[in-house]
Amino acid sequence: MSTDATPAAVTPERERDVVAAVPTGLLVAGAWRDASGGGTLAVDDPATGRTLTEVADATADDARAALDAAVAAQADWAATAPRERGELLRRAFELTTERAEDLALLMTLEMGKPLAESRGEVAYGAEFLRWFSEEAVRAYGRWSTAPNGASRLLTMKQPVGPCFAITPWNFPLAMATRKIGPALAAGCTMILKPAAQTPLTALAFAQVLLDAGLPDGVVQVLTTRSAGDLTAPLLADARLRKLTFTGSTPVGKRLVAQAADNLQRVSMELGGNAPFLVFRDADVEAAVEGAVLAKMRNIGEACTAANRFLVHADVAEDFSRGLAERLAAMPVGRGTEPDSKVGPLITREARADVHALVAEAVEGGARVLTGGEPLDGPGAFYPPTVLTEVPRQARIRTEEIFGPVAPVGTFTDDDDAVATANATEYGLVAYVYTRDVSRAVRVAEGLQFGMVGLNQGVVSNPAAPFGGVKASGFGREGGAEGIEEYLDTKYVGLAL
Ligand code: NAP
């Protein structure tokens, strides 16, 4: 993700204007409307604790209305020419790019990450629209002769049907476009439920879709404080054909169970616990560079965040010192400040959780190379932190940290390192630094993860299949695989 956009000063007036321009209702059947119960939900700035605005608080009745609209629009959307569907996505890509500054500022205000990173997410999120605008015309079927020659076998790809997408707060745009892009390309209609903490980016993006010419009912957006109440009637309705979820593993497990009654198709992008392996032959400077990205992207609040650093004992000191120096030099501040590199965590509760992991490790004997204490002030700021000599039983060695904390451990044997990396219920991404090609292949093959970053600290790419194994879920987003999640294969046998 590019984070090199030129920082610009943001005035309070500009903040107000950008927030005021966001539609705050529910998008159902092509129109904005209030929640059926008339309720609203406050959206806060995690850097100041102040409320930015209120948005509609959808109820179960709104969910049913949204599903009715998605079902009503499904047949026409599926019958819309693939090129036309692709062109809608292409216009959405262009409008998202045109509105990048406003979308980035909204994201920073509601989520906290520095503006340069929000700009990076807008560019990354928009790329899914461009990628799937190109994939819309490539849902190929097959024609073959049965082995006994008596019939012909025709396979065709058809849209799964109305889908429900639930997204988390940490990537408010990209997690939505990564689902809406392939769903629309495949000919599926959709209901999107963004996270309660970050609905503004999704609402502004819904307006992008409308301005790009979205037909009524093809995408609905429901914001709510009662995610469970909204989800239950949708999954209980067999007209809904697919659930696509990005979020935590415990919630994902519950949703898979709920979707079982109607056997809706399910894609799950869940939690991670990424190991970051640095072998003895690695370019240590490059490894530190990659570690800064893999750890600090999104303030550490990413499913792909490096969570456990495993470094060969011969280079561990150089690596830890280099990482601590780089992290200590990152300015912490509100994401709208031009030189901020580390914004606030999403809430003070989230910060307390991160600090509890650090404090427990330190009490058990871990050494703090930098950071380690929450920062004063109204926002949920936590400084970049590097820990070494973390005790074996410390929770920070096994739990997803979701903050700017890097625990560094050591190893001396390759097989032990891979075994330690695999000793987690999660399996989303692993990072590997080595200059030895054979070792790279051996280790990449041995890692039980859906993705491996080889000598690179970022794996996310719209043209690649993003996803995990084990408790990190199943299904892939992006790449040629992404659209398959929204397509069923039908086979027609033709007797001669
Ligand atoms: P979360 O609590 O699971 O929330 C994610 C989404 O699920 C939110 O929209 C939330 O709504 C909704 N939700 C919560 N309870 C629900 C229920 N009972 N029924 C239906 N929806 C429900 O996760 P989070 O804390 O926001 O996000 C962080 C997690 O996401 C981390 O574990 C991270 O690793 C994971 N993540 C994974 C990926 C990936 O691609 N693998 C990407 C990003 C994040 P509310 O906002 O209203 O609670």
Atom 35 in ligand 1: which residue has the minimum CA distance?
247
Ligand 1 close to Cβ of residue 88 (< 6 A): no
Ligand 1 close to Cβ of residue 459 (< 6 A): no
Q: Which of 44, 198, 246 maximizes ligand 1 atoms within 8 Å of its Cβ, making it the mutation to test the pocket?
A: 246
Ligand 1 close to Cβ of residue 272 (< 6 A): yes
Q: Which of 256, 303, 304, 481 maximizes ligand 1 atoms within 8 Å of its Cβ, making it the mutation to test the pocket?
A: 303
**To 5 degrees, how large is the angle CA 271–CA 275–CA 277?**
160
Question: Domain 12-270+473-492's class?
Answer: alpha beta
Ligand 1 close to Cβ of residue 195 (< 6 A): yes
| Whole-number Cα distances in Å, 121 to 14, 176, 354 | 20, 11, 24
Atom 10 in ligand 1: which residue has the minimum CA distance?
195
Residue 193 alpha carbon, nearest atom of ligand 1: 9
Residue 271 alpha carbon, nearest atom of ligand 1: 34
Angle formed by the axes of helices 249-260 and 227-235, to 10°?
30
User: What is the distance in A from the centroid of ligand 1 to the CA of 252?
Assistant: 8
Paired sense of beta strands 163-166 and 190-193, if any: parallel
Contact between 283 and 435 under an 8 Å Cβ cutoff? The reply is: yes
Q: What's the pLDDT score for residue 3?
A: 41
Domain boundaries, the chain: 12-270+473-492, 274-461
Residue 272 alpha carbon, nearest atom of ligand 1: 34
| Whole-number Cα distances in Å, 136 to 163, 171, 479 | 17, 24, 12
User: What is the distance in A from the centroid of ligand 1 to the CA of 251?
Assistant: 7
| Whole-number Cα distances in Å, 364 to 361, 372, 374, 393, 408 | 5, 14, 19, 9, 15
What pLDDT band is residue 6 in, cutting at 50, 70 and 90? low
Ligand 1 close to Cβ of residue 170 (< 6 A): yes
DSSP 33: E
What pLDDT band is residue 117 in, cutting at 50, 70 and 90? very high
Q: What's the pLDDT score for residue 64?
A: 98
Query: Is the model's pLDDT at 435 over the cut of 70?
Result: yes
Report how far residue 268's alpha carbon sits from residue 289's, in angstroms, rounded to the nearest whole number: 30
Give the model confidence (pLDDT) of 127-184 as tens digits: 999 999 999 999 999 999 999 999 999 999 999 999 999 999 999 999 999 999 999 9
| Whole-number Cα distances in Å, 255 to 264, 394, 425, 466 | 11, 30, 18, 20
Contact between 5 and 119 under an 8 Å Cβ cutoff? The reply is: yes
Q: How many other C-beta atoms can be found within 10 angstroms of the C-beta atom of residue 51?
A: 10
**To 5 degrees, how large is the angle CA 256–CA 467–CA 355?**
85
User: Which residues pair with residue 154 across a beta bridge?
Assistant: 143, 492
Query: Is the model's pLDDT at 2 over the cut of 50?
Result: no
Give the model confidence (pLDDT) of 350-381 as tens digits: 999 999 999 999 999 999 999 999 998 888 99
User: What is the distance in A from the centroid of ligand 1 to the CA of 174?
Assistant: 14
Q: What's the pLDDT score for residue 378?
A: 83
DSSP 332: B
Output the six-digit token pair for 106: 């909204």
Question: Domain 274-461's class?
Answer: alpha beta
User: What is the distance in A from the centroid of ligand 1 to the CA of 253?
Assistant: 11
Q: What's the pLDDT score for residue 377?
A: 81
Query: Is the model's pLDDT at 342 over the cut of 90?
Result: yes
Query: Is the model's pLDDT at 4 over the cut of 60?
Result: no
Q: What's the pLDDT score for residue 10?
A: 92
Give the model confidence (pLDDT) of 229-249 as tens digits: 999 999 999 999 999 999 999
Q: Under DSSP, is residue 419 helix (H, G, I), strand (E, B) or coil? A: helix
DSSP 326: H
| Whole-number Cα distances in Å, 458 to 2, 73, 310, 415, 447 | 11, 38, 17, 24, 17
Q: What's the pLDDT score for residue 203?
A: 98
Ligand 1 close to Cβ of residue 271 (< 6 A): yes
Rg of the chain over all Cα atoms, to the nearest angstrom? 23
What pLDDT band is residue 437 in, cutting at 50, 70 and 90? very high
DSSP 466: B
Ligand 1 close to Cβ of residue 156 (< 6 A): no
| Residues tagged active-site | 269
User: What is the distance in A from the centroid of ligand 1 to the CA of 399?
Assistant: 16
User: What is the distance in A from the centroid of ligand 1 to the CA of 167?
Assistant: 6
